[in-house]
Amino acid sequence: MDISGGILFTTLEPCTSRNKHKPCSDWIIEKGIKEVYVGLLDPNPKIYNQGCTKLRNAGLEVSFFPRDLREEIKKDNNEFTFETRWSKDGNTHINIDNHKHDGSIKTVAIASGHNEIKEVKDGEVFDSSSDSRHPATGQIVIIENMKRLQIVTS
């Protein structure tokens, strides 16, 4: 099926990297789609706005859903939400605290002894008994939300 010149509506920003297959943004560009409407930018700060930027750089028109629809998408995706905040100490490190936020974070752990995210196979094996963590640069942090979904980041 030829979809070149088409318009794509997606609730989440197209990805720019994948482990096992082509990123969504590459597929969209390759298929010749000309216009993309995005519901939400990816909330992961390492990914945020990279997919939209890649599409724009390839000459695609990128727009966003109206505000009321974005709010509905946010509500539907609450179970995937993790909230972190930069510390008041500046931009040199981040403090993660699982009880001062909106209740979205259940546990926080540091993957001690691991240097790469791909090494972490099961985040539940790490100590998540403390209410807060203060990871150093390069440490891997595992955050689990109330729906038991985990994000592993460094």
DSSP string, 24-74: HHHHHHHTT--EEEEEE--SSTTTTTHHHHHHHHTT-EEEE--HHHHHHHH
**CB under 8 Å to 90, separation ≥6 — which residues?**
none
Tokens of 108: 């926080």
The dotted CATH code for 7-76 is: 3.40.140.10
pLDDT at 36: 95
pLDDT at 103: 58
pLDDT at 85: 47
Q: pLDDT tens digit string along 64-118?
A: 999 899 888 888 776 665 555 445 455 555 566 555 445 566 777 888 888 877 7
Phi-psi region of 110 (alpha: psi -120 to 50; beta: other; left: phi over 0): beta
Q: Which residues of the chain are in CATH 3.40.140.10 domains?
A: 7-76
pLDDT at 120: 78
Residues 130-148: what's their mean pLDDT? 74
pLDDT at 38: 93
pTM of the full predicted structure? Answer: 0.55
Kind and range of the H or E element at 141?
Answer: strand 141-145
Beta bridge partners of 153: 141
Tokens of 44: 């992961």
pLDDT at 92: 54
Query: Of 146 and 10, which is predicted with more confidence?
Result: 10
Choose the most confident range, by mean pLDDT, from 43-47, 140-144, 150-154. 140-144
Dist CA 46 CA 153 (whole Å): 9
Q: pLDDT tens digit string along 15-50?
A: 888 777 888 999 999 999 999 999 988 877 777 899
Closest CA to 10 of 138, 125, 27: 27
